[in-house]
Structure 1
């Protein structure tokens, strides 16, 4: 039976949005891309509704949120409204908010006994740098903006003076940062595991370009298919579960003490993972919706 599916995305031209649209059409469903920033939410007792460009959205079976990091608050509100309307969502509103809070995510992962790089968060001023370094084990170390995304706002500080300068600069901007140990043995590479409904459906190893410690593909990194170890696969699945994400991209590092989770992405892109694995991840997502909207 055909479903009515809405993809919440800022643009029809984005690769992941296009692939999801094509996959839903291929499976015989009625699908539409809607810009969630142009949705009006009418909050009323027993009758929550959503208008898109003045048009009432009715009888929607499922939504696929593709929420940008800078629009988390409003995106979560739109998802929550659909949830109130009893519409199935591949991403729950609270899971989105939880995953976008990097500090909270790391705390939840450690609560679940999942390995992460040693991390320090402090409210002290930059004259506390030496103490922070002692907690982590010295330099080099990674300094990250809590609101950063896609490799932005991440700095490798190789010396104590560099760390102090970077922290001072961020403090001057009143930006919140965390400091993390640098996993040297990862050699500028990480792993992205794509998890759907508690199963890893594909994984790739991303390698940063020479001289670059960040492995993000849009920063010039390369990717290749990888077979995860049992420990890596279990860590990825457990991380997604701890954050309540039914669909996620789990980023992890290979270290001497086992896999370390860096981040769990709630709106992972499809281009890199489909290119590396040659798998139709978009169709897997549509099949997941079909399974949950019987």
Structure 2
């Protein structure tokens, strides 16, 4: 089995033709930062909508029954959820392209898997919110009946509540996943960033779950806004560092690690370091045997 290496032509002298002729890795170097930025814009928009309609900074879906069906409010909220969907898709793509094979620490690989679960739950939760708010504000008979039921606080709003529960679980998973990525990555920016992300996302997820189950305002959107702000600051330092040391699409980290270990072995082992030991071997006395 042929394994690709960092240096082209190093094995056979024949140029490989794997992959596109134009490098495309640069297109995916900002997925983590862009995903967190979209999520930050989503909750910033929800906070601004809440303050505009209720003079409260924290968005409370259960107390906005009438506001959810007034004027352009449904369109604005739908757009915010759309930004959240884009953010979750970017974070999902980041996880799919993240180098997390067996050469990395088990904690790092576990963090990557947890982020995979978090992005899926976040995507489903944001999609539910987007579909729900897209149905509001219509003028047909069915849409008017749906608007009236939502305005009166009917059971239909529980559909939106289910989406928020999924987002709350996703937030806790984000915090744990980011913590493990930072702690078990040799090129991390600092363990304190990981602990801050974990605490912020855990508080955000807990407040969102509490809001969805008790129907009370818990400051969930403010916690989410703070969480994605701190995560974005961390990603500005973390993502460039892992991009620098991650293999490209035509490489395998296992082969790169083997090459590094072999090179270190040949430099330190006296039997293989020919350049340094040739002189000493040539000066050794003869054993007395003749060929």
- Give the TM-score band, short-chain normalised: under 0.3
Decide which structure has greater strand share: 1
Decide which structure has greater helix share: 2
Normalising by the residue count of structure 1, what TM-score does the alignment of the two structures yield? 0.20
Q: Which has the larger radius of gyration?
A: 2
The structure with higher relative contact order (CA 8 Å, sep 6+) is 2
Normalising by the residue count of structure 2, what TM-score does the alignment of the two structures yield? 0.20
